[in-house]
Amino acid sequence: MEEIIFGIGITALAGALATIAGAAEDTESDIGSQGDPNSQVQLAPQMGYIHRIFNKAIAGEPPAYGLWVALGAGLAWAFMAMQINPILAIVLGSALAVFVQGVYATTAYLGRTASLAKFEQPVYIDILKSMTTVTMAHAFVAIFAAVAMCHLIISALGHPFPLPLLGLVWGIALGAAGSATGNPFYGKERQYQEQKFGAGVPISASGNIVRYAEAGERNSLDNGFFSAKLGGPASGICFGLIVFFELWRTVVFEPIAAGWGAVIVGVVVILIFAIIDRYIEVWARKTFGPYVAPEEASS
Amino acid sequence: MSALGGPAQTSGVQSPTGMGLIVSIILIIVALALAFFLVQMAGLLALVGIIIGGVLVGFGVHFVPVGGAPAAMGQAPGIATGVAMLAAGAGLAGLFGGAWAAPLGFPLALAGGAIGGGLLMAITCTMVNVVYIFGMGIPAASGKVDKDPITGDTFPEYKSQGTEGHGLPFISWVGGVVGGALGGLGGTLIYLELLNVYQAQMPALFGASVEQIAPIAVSLAGVFAIGMFLMNAVLAAYNITGTIEGPHDPKFKRFPRAIIAAAAASAVAGIFAIGLLELLGVF
C-alpha cells in the first residue's frame, strides 16, 4: 500500500513537471516561431510584408526537443555517474543543453532570415540579441522539467530505459504535444489577429501577418506574452495529462488482474476523453452556429 | 519521390508499381534468408515480428489527422504539426508503456504499448479541439467529406469562407486514436523482438549473466525501435505528401503502397539490428 501511495505522489509530481515543461515548450517555440506558423513568418517578406518576428524553424519541435532533452538527460546521466548530486547534475545537464539550443537558435535565425535577402528582409541584430536569450530561458525551464520528470520515472518508478533514451522518447512526445496544441493559437489568433474571430484564415490572406504592436513594430516577445495566456498553458495541460495518465494507470492499476488492470483503465480513460471531445464539439456547433460570411471581405 | 514510383501529387488511390513490388519482395526474402543464416529460426521469427511492427507503424500513420502549417491558421482540418512528428510522439509514448510492461509478458506489453499511443493521441486531439473551440471560437469542419461518417454531423455550413475546413471532426479524433494505438503497438513489437534477440545472444558473447547485460540490451533495443519507428513514420509521411484528415480522407487509400515500403524498409533495417551482434562476434 505504501508503495502505491509513494507511486501516486511521484506520478503527481511527474505530471506537474510535465505541465511546466509543456507550457514552457510552447511559449519558447512561439517566441522562436518554431511551430508550423513559421511558414507564415517566412512567407510574409516574400509577399512584401517586412517584419521583426524571430524565426528559428529549421527543425520541427518534436525532433528539436528530442535532441535537447536527450542531450540534457545524457549529460545529467554522465554527471550522476561521476557521483554528482542528481539535482545538480540535472541543472548542469540542462544548462549545457540550453547552450546547444542557443547556438541552434542563433544560426537558424541568421540562416532563415538571410535567405530572404532578395525580398529585402533585414537581419536585425537587436532581435537576435534580445530574443535568443529569452528562448534559451524558456528552453531551460522546459528541458529541466522534462529531464527531472524522466529521472523520477526511472529512479522512483523503475522504468527500464536509461535516462538519455527516456529523454529522447519524452522529448519527442513533449514537442508533439506542444506543437499540436499551441500552434493554432499562435498561428491563427496571434499572427492573424486582424482576421475575424471565430473563423479560419482565408488562404488569400496568407503572409499578411500582423506586424505592428500597440507602439512600434511587433516582435516575438509580444508573441510570447500572448501565447503564455492560453496556448502555453493548454500545451502544458495536454502534456501533463499525457504523462499523468500514462504513469497513473500503470502505478495504480498494474497490480490488478495480472497487469491487465492498467490496460482496461487506459481504455476507459480514452473513452472518457472521447466523450469530452464529442461534448465540446456539439457544444461548439450549437453555441457558435454555422459560418456567416462577414459583410466586408476580411483579407 | 518514393523508390516505389507512382504518379506524384495526386489525391486518392496510388497503387504500387510492379517494379516496386518485385524489388520489395526480393529485399524481404533476402533479409529473411540472412536472418535465418545468422540467428537461425529465432532470427527469422524476430525479423517477421519486426516487419509486422514496421507495417503497423506505416499503416497507423495514415490514420493520424495532420493538417501541418494550414491547420495552424485554421485553413485546413487536422493537428497543426508534421505527420511523422506526431506519429512519432504517439508511438514513442506507446513504446514507453510497452517497455515498462515487458516483464509481465508479450500480450500485455503489446496492449500496454497500443494503449499508451492511443492515450497520447486521445488527450492531444481533445486539447486541439479545446484550443480551437475555447481559444479561437471555431467549430470543427472537414474539407474532404460533407458528413461525418460516425456522428452524421454535416460540415459545409460550418466551414469558413476561403478555407478547406478546420478543427478536428469526431472521425479525425477516432482516426488519431487508432493511429496512435497502431503506432504504439508496432513500436513495442519491434522493441520486444529485438530485446529477445539481444537477451539470447549477449550473455554468450560477453560472458555475462542476463541481468548484467539487461541495461545494454534494453538500450540497444530501444534505440533501434525508435530508429525504425521514425523510418516507417517518415516513409508513410512521404506517401501521404503533406496533410491528411484521417481514415475518411481519399489519401488514406494510398496505404497499400506504404505497407509494402514499410515492410521492405523494416526488413532491411531489421537485418542490421538482428545481425549487429553476430557482426561484433566476427570482428
What does the pLDDT look like over B202-221, one tens digit per residue? 888 778 887 888 888 888 89
* A299 assigned to some structural domain: no
A269 contacts in chain B (CB < 8 Å): 119, 122
Q: Which candidate from B166, B170, B177 shows the least CB-CB separation from A200?
A: B166
ipTM score of complex: 0.93
Range of the domain at A262: 258-288
Q: What is the pLDDT of residue A60?
A: 86
Per the document, the length of chain A is: 299
Residue A4 — very low, low, confident or very high, per pLDDT cuts 50/70/90? Answer: confident
Average pLDDT value for residue range B105-131: 92
**Inter-chain contact A183–B130, Cβ cutoff 8 Å?**
no
Q: What is the pLDDT of residue A234?
A: 95
DSSP summary character for residue A82:
T
* Integer Cα distance of B195 and A105 in angstroms: 37
Extract the C-alpha cell encoding B216.
545494454
Together in a domain, A31 and A117: yes
Together in a domain, A264 and A142: no
* Integer Cα distance of A277 and A283 in angstroms: 10
Query: What percent of chain A has a predicted confidence (pLDDT) above 70?
Result: 99
Together in a domain, A72 and A219: yes
Tell me if the pTM is above 0.90: yes
Range of the domain at B160: 49-273
3-state helix, strand, coil split of chain A in percent (to 5) is 75, 0, 25
Mutation site for A-interface testing, chosen from B85, B132, B154, B182 by largest number of A Cβ within 10 Å: B85
Average pLDDT value for residue range B228-256: 89
Find, in chain B, the residue whose alpha carbon is nearest to that of A206.
Answer: B73
* Integer Cα distance of A2 and A120 in angstroms: 65
* A190 assigned to some structural domain: yes
* B9 assigned to some structural domain: no
Average pLDDT, rounded, for chain A:
91
Extract the C-alpha cell encoding B26.
526480393
Count of domains in chain A? Answer: 2
Q: Is the pLDDT of residue B10 over 80?
A: no
Together in a domain, A131 and A269: no
Nearest in space to A261 (alpha carbons), one of B276, B263, B108, B174: B108
Burial state string for A226-245 with b = 16 or more CB within 10 A and e = fewer than 16:
bbbebbbbbbbbbbbbbbbb
* B31 assigned to some structural domain: no
Together in a domain, A188 and A72: yes
Average pLDDT, rounded, for chain B:
87
Together in a domain, A143 and A184: yes
The answer to whether the CB of A27 falls within 8 A of the CB of A140 is no
Q: Is the pLDDT of residue A185 over 80?
A: yes
Extract the C-alpha cell encoding B108.
500485455
* Integer Cα distance of B113 and A141 in angstroms: 29
Query: What percent of chain A has a predicted confidence (pLDDT) above 90?
Result: 66
* B80 assigned to some structural domain: yes
Q: Is the pLDDT of residue A151 over 50?
A: yes
Together in a domain, A196 and A247: yes
Together in a domain, A201 and A224: yes
* Integer Cα distance of A284 and A273 in angstroms: 16
Give the tens place of pLDDT for each residue, A16-41. Answer: 999 999 999 999 999 998 888 888 89
Residue type, B78: G
* B269 assigned to some structural domain: yes
Residue A297 burial (C-beta neighbours within 10 Å; 0-12, 13-18, 19+): exposed
* A272 assigned to some structural domain: yes
Residue A277 — very low, low, confident or very high, per pLDDT cuts 50/70/90? Answer: very high
Angstroms from B80 CA to nearest CA on chain A: 5
Average pLDDT value for residue range A182-197: 89
* Integer Cα distance of A20 and A24 in angstroms: 6
The answer to whether the CB of B57 falls within 8 A of the CB of B236 is yes
For residue B176, which phi and psi values (nearest 5 degrees)?
-60, -45
Together in a domain, A264 and A241: no
Count of domains in chain B? Answer: 1
The answer to whether the CB of B119 falls within 8 A of the CB of A245 is yes
* B38 assigned to some structural domain: no
Give the tens place of pLDDT for each residue, B63-85. Answer: 999 888 888 888 889 888 877 77
H helix runs in chain B, sequence order: 18-61, 68-72, 83-101, 106-130, 170-206, 210-240, 255-282
Residue type, A221: L
Together in a domain, A211 and A71: yes
Chain B, residues 155-174, CB within 8 A of chain A, namely: 157-166, 168-170, 173-174
* B36 assigned to some structural domain: no
* B279 assigned to some structural domain: no
The answer to whether the CB of A72 falls within 8 A of the CB of A93 is yes
Q: What is the pLDDT of residue B281?
A: 66
B99 contacts in chain A (CB < 8 Å): 159-161
Residue B182 — very low, low, confident or very high, per pLDDT cuts 50/70/90? Answer: very high
Q: Is the pLDDT of residue B42 over 90?
A: no
Extract the C-alpha cell encoding B86.
506526431
B123 contacts in chain A (CB < 8 Å): 177, 238, 241-242, 245, 273
Residue A297 — very low, low, confident or very high, per pLDDT cuts 50/70/90? Answer: low
Burial state string for A111-122 with b = 16 or more CB within 10 A and e = fewer than 16:
ebbeebeeeebe
Average pLDDT value for residue range A162-175: 92
**Inter-chain contact B131–A266, Cβ cutoff 8 Å?**
no
Q: Which candidate from B74, B92, B168 shows the least CB-CB separation from A200?
A: B74
Q: Is the pLDDT of residue B3 over 50?
A: no
